[in-house]
Copies of this chain bind each other. A is one copy, B any other.
Amino acid sequence: MMKLTILGCHSATPKENKHTTSQLLEVKGKFFLIDCGEGTQIQLRKLKIKFSLIQHIFISHLHGDHFYGLIGLISTFRLLGRTTQLNIYGPKGIKEIITLQLKMSNSWTDYSLHFHELSSPNSEKIFEDDTICVSTLPLDHRIYTNGFLFTTKTVKRKINSKATESLNLEPFHYSQLQNGLDIELANGIFKENKELTLNPEPSKKYAYCSDTAYNKKLISLIKGVDLLYHEATFLEKHADLAKKTKHSTALQAAKIANSANVKKLLLGHYSNRYSDKKDFIKEASTVFESILLSEDLKTYSI
């Protein structure tokens, strides 16, 4: 299971109680930060998580509402005495911006800071460990922009302790069972794997797509994901503005969700011009059913 907390879901300029884009994804006790608008570190403090558990930050593009909080977060990590490595994934140029500011302030980090600069126009795997795989989702925006697809790995089969408790199994038996193998007991009796194990939690997929014009190329990359976050900066009545600024309307986001047959759609990146967010649901639900609205500091289970 993944847990997604929205730190900010508003576009363009931050205001009191309206934070620009940032999200925190939790996967088995590991935290992945996605985008980092100004003030993200203050939002993060409210969650009271241990900052050192954030070891990977993914930046979609170099518009300010998606990364102006990054330099402050990097500095705060240093001031708090961080020692664990930090990895930043983002467009080419991000390293220059951050290191220039560290250089000018003579404030190099004491922890190791790794930049993984992206420039490919195609989807590529950019991170993988034993629990998750992250790949890019090329988006269609005014500057080079990627969304990110987070896919949890199918974990080992679960031991059915009720079924195994009377069998006096050795440690290697458990390992065999977790790996899906049948086992031979000490007395020579064979046991089928399915008798002694339960199905593992299925792999989960979260697709993050902000910012982007309506982009059909996305559909094949996000087929059937459990949750799609898709920007909906505008409503259809401002479709001309959406086209001009290479953003999407709520309807367009829903069309992508529908075509990709995703399980749930989460809308966000609202323009400040709309006061009633229910209009986004109303518009999107004409073509897709299962819709959620992002709210700052709200958590969504995936």
Please give the residue numbers on chain A whose beta carbons come within 8 Å of chain B beta carbons, in ascending order: 12-16, 38-39, 41-42, 45-46, 62-64, 68-69, 71-72, 75-76, 79-80, 91, 93-94, 96-97, 100-101, 104-107, 142-143
Q: Is the CB of B68 within 8 A of A64?
A: no
Task: Tell me the bound Cα distance from A105 to B63 in angstroms.
Answer: 5
Asked whether A107 and B64 contact (CB < 8 A) given A38-B38, A38-B69, the answer is yes
Residues of B within 8 A of A42 (CB): 14-16, 39
Task: Tell me the bound Cα distance from A286 to B63 in angstroms.
Answer: 50
Chain B residue nearest to A13 (CB atoms) is: B76
Asked whether A104 and B100 contact (CB < 8 A) given A15-B42, A16-B46, A64-B71, the answer is no
Asked whether A97 and B93 contact (CB < 8 A) given A13-B76, A13-B79, the answer is no
Chain B residue nearest to A20 (CB atoms) is: B72
Chain B residue nearest to A38 (CB atoms) is: B72
Q: Is the CB of B64 within 8 A of A143?
A: no
Task: Tell me the bound Cα distance from A45 to B80 in angstroms.
Answer: 29
Residues of B within 8 A of A13 (CB): 41, 72, 75-76, 79-80
CB A224 to nearest CB in B, in angstroms, measures: 33
CB A106 to nearest CB in B, in angstroms, measures: 5
Residues of B within 8 A of A14 (CB): 39, 41-42, 72
Residues of B within 8 A of A107 (CB): 63-64
Task: Tell me the bound Cα distance from A15 to B12 in angstroms.
Answer: 22
Asked whether A106 and B143 contact (CB < 8 A) given A13-B80, A72-B64, the answer is yes
